[in-house]
Amino acid sequence: MPYAHQPVANRPIERRSAEPSLGEGEVQPLGKHAALGLETLDGWTRPAHDRAQAGYRREAIIGTDDRVRVRETSSFPWRAICHLQIYTADGEDYGGTGWLIGPRTVITAGHCVFLHTLGAWVERIVVSPARNGRDRPFSSSVSREFQSIRGWIINGQPEHDYGAIILPADQAVPEAGHFGYSVSDTASLRRAYLNVSGYPADREEATQWWSARSSRRVNETTIWYDADTAQGQSGAPVWRLDPRTGKRVVVGIHTNGADSGNSATRITADVFANLERWKTL
């Protein structure tokens, strides 16, 4: 049931259907810290070539492209970041990114689960934690159970562009681990070093890429930053290292790109409450 205290725009909406089995041929199971939130670069190299795919939203490389490929995706936190293969009712398929907050709950952008261009939920999503090209260290799961909120489903408001994928009970992945997340005050987010990692469509297929730069601007619902992204990274976690504990904490859900700054739906008290609810499903 929706939270009675929440504004109408933040009330959850869900789409459920019978748990599917993997369709034939869809997937085959196959494996120096820096200050202020910057992850390390050890052992990562850039690819020799690019490969473009379809995506959802315009994304942006701001200045020099400093994205770095994550080679060891089976290590934490990279293994908690999921490649999404999204299938729609009109026969199209797209790539996206999500991140685990529990064994069965994957957070992503709202436009990865509900497409306003079709006015409908997507049909199914193949979720592959830690995917690294052909390698799927934690296999893959197929979900048809999605969550989002009224502000996105009904109104299409960018500040409400987030949702969740609920994995079937028998396909939970506790061994992949999960991210922590929090409501951060505006002052602490201004000029904070933010990390973004996901599965861009302009690189080798289903490979994970990371970038980190300072936040550019913050308001009540959105965080803008200069970290580089590309189509296919919608839904990626935006995190920093907590200066008090040194732990990784997600503060936003990447959704949009522009030369003036890529941006994320900020984890506010309302977003936090919905994530907590979805984590228990």
Nearest Cα residue to 196 out of 76, 63, 78: 78
Strands 237-241 and 124-129, sheet pairing: unpaired
What single-letter DSSP state applies at residue 135?
A: B
What is the rounded CA–CA span in Å between residue 74 and residue 188?
A: 31
User: Which of the residues are catalytic?
Assistant: 111, 234
Cβ atoms of 267 and 121 closer than 8 Å: no
Token pair 């609920």 is found at 166
Identity of the amino acid at 126: V
Q: Which residues are paired to 141 by β-bridges?
A: 127
**CB neighbours of 219 closer than 8 A, spacing ≥ 6?**
186, 266
Token pair for residue 30?
A: 């196959």
Number of CB atoms found within 10 A of residue 225's CB: 28
Q: Which helix (H) or strand (E) holds 276?
A: helix 269-279
Identity of the amino acid at 247: K
Cβ atoms of 95 and 199 closer than 8 Å: yes
CA atoms lying within 13 Å on the CB side of residue 163: 31
What b-and-e string marks burial along 91-100, b requiring 16 or more CB atoms within 10 Å of the CB?
eeebbbbbbb
